[in-house]
A and B are shown apart, each in its own frame.
Chain A
Amino acid sequence: MKLEHVCKQYGSVRALDDLTLEIGEGAITAVLGESGAGKTTLLNAIAGRISYEGEIGGVRGEKPRRRADCSYLFQTSMLLPHLTAEGNIKFVLPKSEWGKIGEMLARVGLAGREKARPAELSGGERRRVAIARAFLFPHRLLLMDEPFSSLDLSLKKSLAELVVSLWRERGDTVVFVTHDVHEAALLASRAVVLKAGKVAADLPVEGEYPRDFGKLSYTEELLVRALLA
């Protein structure tokens, strides 16, 4: 997917400044940056949730138009409290896909927890339901907005491994925004660093999956340098 000369202005702030970028098919692309760098604006523009100047995937963005082929993993689990784990997935899924829910819940380690409500699930289990929902929803592009930002390190690692294994099975195109270099190094095959709405660095992220924090010092160092430059 190509992003060509994408601009977005909020008042006097230029959130995206003539941004041109190609997102590789079947890759996990991390978009890194500090607060206000334009990460979430970029994600919202790709999703068609905001208007923008320029073209994304051949679509001009004069008017916000939701991309039907996008799935999402939000910053929070965003599960409806009155629905079960299964019900929460059914809520967003077309009826034709309901038959796959049980298998996917088992795949993310929630076999037998289908009828549990969010309040009966741990924080990690709730994230797993959200991951199952994001991967089950029919899509070509999976967008993740700081998906593990509020989690502790061990949970972050296990959920990142789950996302990577599901991605490898399905070969989805994934774009995720984060301000966490470790998260990018753990998940991404490529990292784009944004600064003031522009691409400040575009780096491949080396390393075989599953990755570990300790083995990524070189990549992390490059990303930190790009962020601080």
Chain B
Amino acid sequence: MKKNLLFSALFSALALVAVALAWIVAYFAAGNEYLVPSLWETLAETGRLFTEAAFWRAFGFTLLRTALAFLVSFALGTGLAALASLHPAARAFFAPVVSVLRTVPTMAVVLILVLWTDRTVAPALVALLVLFPAVYAAALAAIDEVNAAYGELPRAFGVKAGRRLFRMYLPLVAPALSAQAGAIFSMGLKITVSGEVLAQTFRSLGYLMQQSQMYLQIPRLFALTLLCVLLGFLLEGGCLLLNRYFARWRR
């Protein structure tokens, strides 16, 4: 087990080294700091960002918007999936709504929401609208799987709703959902930042990125992108820990 972990860590580190090497090769091949900045300059800029209060404020607000979108989409997605699993009519009602939300262009939604709401709220709302169908589909699939395998059991024995929920559905559905939560959270971050760029949301990572691009501060733009990727990794790691906690809790 320990050997396997060491093996995986080694290959993950190798992948990072490969990306860094590709960056260095691209830097020398482009020969233009405005197209591809040097890795060192980008890393130095990343360090500088950590010392700026404006960056931390932007980081905090972006994270807050992403977390809110994630939490609300999770609550809404799982709640409505539970309802859909109980009533065929609800399932039929939500199906086209979810399809529309899944296919509608994100950028169009941002533009409309900027008109309808506040620039600070629009990115979170867009993330919510994009994440909701993903959460709904994942939750419904997980509930359907539990119903197909074990649904007959509580029905036949007349098990009370509370016991069904806490002893059967939650322990069986939560691991399947928390396994996908990391990917959904990172997607939420990506959508929030895109929304912030388009909506020009003040005090946001997207806004800082747009400013950097406008003033040709390319190392800063790359540094902000790098930090978004790191944040995505952290969020996925956090959800992985949550998944392990669920695995222990359901015992």
Contact = CB atoms under 8 A, between A and B. Distances in A.
A91 B159 contact: yes
Q: Is the interface of A mostly helix, strand, loop or mixed?
A: loop
Contacts of B250: 82
B155 A66 contact: yes
A115 to B, nearest CB: 10
B157 A83 contact: no
B156 A72 contact: yes
B30 interface: no
A59 interface: no
Nearest to B251: A82
B167 A78 contact: no
B52 to A, nearest CB: 47
Interface stretch (B102-110, B146-154, B217-225): B146-154
A82 B150 CA distance: 12
Interface residues of A, number: 17
A137 B168 CA distance: 18
A49 interface: yes
B171 A82 contact: yes
B150 A80 contact: yes
A80 B151 CA distance: 11
A133 to B, nearest CB: 8
A72 B171 contact: no
Interface in B132-163: 150, 152-159, 163
B251 A78 contact: no
A87 B153 CA distance: 14
Contacts, number: 41
Contact of A66 (B150, B158, B167, B168): B158
B171 A47 contact: no
Contacts of A80: 150, 153, 167-168, 171-172
Interface in B159-178: 159, 163, 167-168, 171-172
A137 B171 CA distance: 23
Given A72-B157, A83-B167, 8 more contacts: A49-B155, A66-B155, A74-B156, A78-B152, A80-B150, A82-B172, A91-B163, A137-B157
29 contacts: A49-B155, A49-B156, A68-B158, A70-B156, A72-B156, A72-B157, A74-B156, A78-B150, A78-B152, A78-B153, A80-B153, A80-B167, A80-B168, A80-B171, A80-B172, A81-B172, A82-B171, A82-B172, A83-B167, A87-B167, A91-B153, A91-B154, A91-B159, A91-B163, A91-B168, A92-B153, A92-B154, A92-B157, A92-B159
Interface of B: 150, 152-159, 163, 167-168, 171-172, 250-251
Interface of A: 47, 49, 66, 68, 70-72, 74, 78, 80-83, 87, 91-92, 137
